C-alpha cells in the first residue's frame, strides 16, 4: 500500500506542468524552491520505498527458492517410497508395499502443497519485480526532473537579478531625464551669452563715446577756425587792403593774386 501511494505521488510530480505552475505563481522563485523541496522529500520517500520493495522481493525470492527445494525433496521422497513399495510388492510383501505407497502418497501431497507455494511466490515475485521496476523508473525520473528544476531555478534567479539590475538602470535614466541637468546648463549658457553680449555692448558704447569726443574736438577746432576768419574779415573791412594781405590764405590770397594780374597788365601797355 505504501509503495503504491508513493508511486502515485511520483507520477503526479513527474506529470506536473512546471511552467503552468510558475505562470500561476505570485513568486516563481518561491514556487520553484517549494517544488524542489517536494521533489527532494519524495525522492527520499521513493528511495525508502524502493529499498523496502527490493528487500521484500528478495525475501519472497528466498522463500520461493526454499519452497522449490522442499518441493523437490518431497518429490524425491515420493519417488523413493514408490520404488520401495514396488520392490516389496515384487518380493511378495504386500502389506509393507502398501505402507510405502501410502508414504509416497503423503510425500506427493506435501509436494503439491509446496508446489502451490512456489506458484504463489512466483506470482508475488512477478508483482514485486514490476512494482520495483516502476519505483526505480519513477525515482530516476524524479531525480532528472529535480535537476531540471534546480537548473530552471538558477536560471530564473539569474534572470530576475538581471531584470532587477536593468530596472534600476532604467529607473536611474528616468530620474536623470526627469531632473534633466541640460536645462540648467542651457539656462546657465544663456546667462553667460547675455553677459558676453552686455560686455560687447559696453565696448561699443565706450568706443562710440570716444569717437564723439574726438568728433567734438574736431568740431571745436573748426569753430575756432571759423571765428578766426570771421575776425579777419571784420578787420579787413575796417582797414582796407592791408587786411586781406595779412591773411595768408583764403580771400586774402585771392586779393593778392588779383593785384598781381592788374600790375602785369599795366606793364604791357
Q: What does the pLDDT read at residue 43?
A: 85
Buried (b) or exposed (e) across 9-29, using 16+ Cβ within 10 A?
A: bbeebeeeebeeebeeeeebe
The per-residue pLDDT for 1 is 47
Mean per-residue pLDDT, 158-184: 75
Average pLDDT of the residues in 226-248: 66
pLDDT of 147 strictly over 80? yes
Low-confidence winner among 102-111, 160-169, 217-226, 245-254 (lowest mean pLDDT): 245-254
* 3-state per-residue secondary structure call for 227-269: HHHHHHHHHHHHHCHHHHHHCCCCHHHHHHHHHHHHHHHHHHC
Q: For helices 251-268 and 181-239, what crossing angle results, to 10°?
A: 40
Contact between 232 and 247 under an 8 Å Cβ cutoff? The reply is yes
Instruction: With cut-offs at 50, 70 and 90, classify the pLDDT of residue 157.
Output: confident
CATH of 2-158, one of 1.20.120, 1.10.3470, 1.10.287, 1.25.40: 1.10.287
pTM of the model: 0.50
pLDDT band for position 262 (cuts 50, 70, 90): very low
Boundaries of every domain in the chain: 2-158, 186-247
Per-residue pLDDT of 174-194, as tens digits, reads: 776 555 556 667 778 888 888
- CA angle 254-255-259, nearest 5°? 120
pLDDT at residue 3 tops 70: no
Pull the grid cell for residue 232: 579777419
| pLDDT tens per residue, range 59-84 | 999 999 999 999 999 999 999 999 99
What are the residues whose beta carbons fall under 8 Å from the beta carbon of 86, sequence distance 6 or more? Answer: 97
Cα 86 to Cα 69: distance, rounded to the nearest angstrom: 26
pLDDT of residue 49: 83
- Answer yes or no: are the C-beta atoms of 115 and 64 closer than 8 Å: no
Angle at 193 between CA 187 and CA 199, to 5 degrees: 140
**What mean pLDDT is predicted for residues 10-31?**
62
Q: How confident is the model at residue 129 (pLDDT cuts 50, 70, 90)?
A: very high
Instruction: Please give the pLDDT value at position 71.
Output: 96
> 5: pLDDT confidence band, cut at 50, 70 and 90?
low
Amino acid at each position: 500500500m505504501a509503495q503504491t501511494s508513493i508511486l502515485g505521488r511520483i507520477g503526479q510530480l513527474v506529470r506536473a506542468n512546471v511552467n503552468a505552475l510558475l505562470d500561476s505563481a505570485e513568486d516563481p522563485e518561491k514556487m520553484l524552491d517549494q517544488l524542489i523541496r517536494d521533489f527532494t522529500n519524495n525522492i527520499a520517500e521513493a528511495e525508502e520505498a524502493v529499498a523496502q520493495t527490493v528487500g521484500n522481493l528478495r525475501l519472497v525470492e528466498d522463500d520461493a527458492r526454499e519452497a522449490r527445494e522442499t518441493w523437490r525433496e518431497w518429490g524425491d521422497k515420493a519417488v523413493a517410497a514408490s520404488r520401495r513399495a514396488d520392490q516389496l510388492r515384487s518380493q511378495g510383501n504386500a502389506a509393507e508395499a502398501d505402507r510405502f505407497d501410502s508414504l509416497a502418497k503423503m510425500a506427493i501431497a506435501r509436494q503439491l502443497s509446496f508446489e502451490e507455494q512456489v506458484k504463489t511466490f512466483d506470482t508475488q515475485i512477478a508483482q514485486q519485480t514490476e512494482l520495483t521496476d516502476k519505483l526505480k523508473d519513477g525515482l530516476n525520473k524524479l531525480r532528472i526532473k529535480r535537476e531540471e528544476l534546480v537548473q530552471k531555478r538558477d536560471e530564473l534567479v539569474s534572470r530576475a537579478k538581471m531584470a532587477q539590475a536593468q530596472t534600476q538602470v532604467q529607473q536611474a535614466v528616468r530620474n536623470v531625464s526627469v531632473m534633466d541637468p541640460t536645462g540648467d546648463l542651457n539656462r546657465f549658457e544663456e546667462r553667460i551669452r547675455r553677459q558676453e553680449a552686455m560686455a560687447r555692448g559696453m565696448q561699443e558704447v565706450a568706443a562710440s563715446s570716444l569717437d564723439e569726443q574726438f568728433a567734438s574736438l574736431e568740431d571745436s577746432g573748426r569753430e575756432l577756425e571759423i571765428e578766426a576768419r570771421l575776425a579777419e574779415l571784420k578787420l579787413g573791412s575796417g582797414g582796407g587792403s592791408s587786411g586781406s594781405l595779412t591773411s595768408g590764405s583764403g580771400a586774402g590770397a585771392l586779393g593778392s593774386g588779383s593785384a598781381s594780374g592788374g600790375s602785369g597788365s599795366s606793364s604791357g601797355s
